[in-house]
């Protein structure tokens, strides 16, 4: 199994990520919900610090009640997501997990295949722990500023997830690249990576449709 990030030796991972995990662990445990697990586009979907309308308030069940839990932690990649899975996801005993696997992988020298090997373990652990769980793998988008090389990498990542989902019971691929609105940079902040509030409004719209059958169960 490839390892690029020394969790014990990089200061950011000894402080920021561990503190984020500890903060989540201090929250009351709500079991049987829809858990969003992944890096910063989930992390920033909250009011604290970024002043965005929280995921939990905009993705509601058919009853109108909250049913989603945000377990995003910024700057993470599949290595940290695997390492922290037992603390971030398992105690929640979710019925559904929405997982984005390819955040931040290039900055740590992973190839698409290497980071996907780690990400598959996150999904496999989840499905082993909770055989009736549904896991949704969120594909990557093709932004309007993407280069040909960027698009090639996006397609490679998306194909890895799609092929895995097709052969894995309980696992589904969400083709986010077909959601045209969030290709446009007016919905991103200055870094061209993270959504602004208008972007998160569209993100919520996407998930309301993509997860309609799951949301209708609550």
pLDDT at 11: 64
Q: How far apart are CA 59 and CA 72, in angstroms?
A: 15
Domain boundaries, the chain: 11-215
pLDDT, mean of residues 68-86 = 91
Which positions ≥6 away from 165 have C-beta within 8 Å? Answer: 137, 171, 172, 173
Burial class (CB in 10 A: 0-12, 13-18, 19+), 88: buried
Report, as an integer, the average pLDDT of 160-168: 98
pTM: 0.94
Calculate the alpha carbon distances from 40 to 70, 104, 169, 197 in Å. 11, 9, 28, 14
- Give the pLDDT confidence score for residue 76 in this predicted structure: 86
pLDDT in tens, 88-135: 999 999 999 999 989 888 877 889 999 999 999 999 999 999 999 999
> Is domain 11-215 annotated with CATH 3.40.50.1110?
yes
- pLDDT, mean of residues 199-217: 98
Distance CA 65, CA 94 (A): 16
Give me the DSSP letters along 15-28: IIIHHHHHHHHTSP
3-class DSSP state for residue 124?
A: helix
pLDDT of residue 73: 86
Q: What pLDDT score does 75 carry?
A: 80
Q: How large is the average pLDDT for residues 52-69?
A: 98
d(Cα 122, Cα 81) in Å, to the nearest integer?
7
Percent of the chain with pLDDT over 90: 81
Is there a contact between 103 and 64 (Cβ–Cβ < 8 Å)?
no
- Residue 96 host element (H or E): strand 96-99
pLDDT one-digit tens code per residue, 1-58: 666 665 555 566 666 788 888 999 999 999 999 999 999 999 999 998 899 999 999 9
């Amino acid at each position: 199994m490839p390892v690029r990030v020394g969790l014990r030796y990089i200061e950011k991972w000894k402080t920021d990520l561990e503190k984020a995990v500890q903060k989540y662990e201090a929250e009351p445990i709500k079991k049987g919900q829809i858990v969003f697990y992944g890096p910063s586009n989930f992390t920033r979907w909250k009011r604290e610090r970024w002043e965005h309308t929280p995921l939990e308030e905009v993705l509601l069940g058919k009853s109108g009640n909250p049913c989603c839990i945000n377990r995003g932690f910024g700057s993470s990649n599949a290595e940290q997501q695997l390492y922290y899975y037992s603390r971030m996801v398992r105690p929640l005993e979710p019925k559904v997990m929405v997982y984005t696997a390819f955040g931040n992988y290039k900055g740590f020298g992973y190839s698409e295949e290497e980071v996907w090997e780690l990400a598959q373990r996150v999904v496999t652990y989840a499905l082993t722990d909770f055989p009736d769980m549904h896991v949704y793998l969120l594909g990557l988008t093709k932004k309007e500023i993407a280069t040909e090389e960027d698009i090639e990498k996006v397609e490679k990542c998306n194909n890895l997830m799609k092929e895995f989902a097709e052969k894995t019971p309980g696992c589904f691929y969400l083709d986010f690249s077909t959601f045209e609105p969030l290709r446009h940079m007016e919905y991103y902040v200055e870094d061209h990576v993270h959504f602004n509030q208008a972007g998160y409004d569209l993100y919520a719209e996407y998930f309301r449709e993509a997860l309609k059958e799951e949301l209708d169960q609550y």
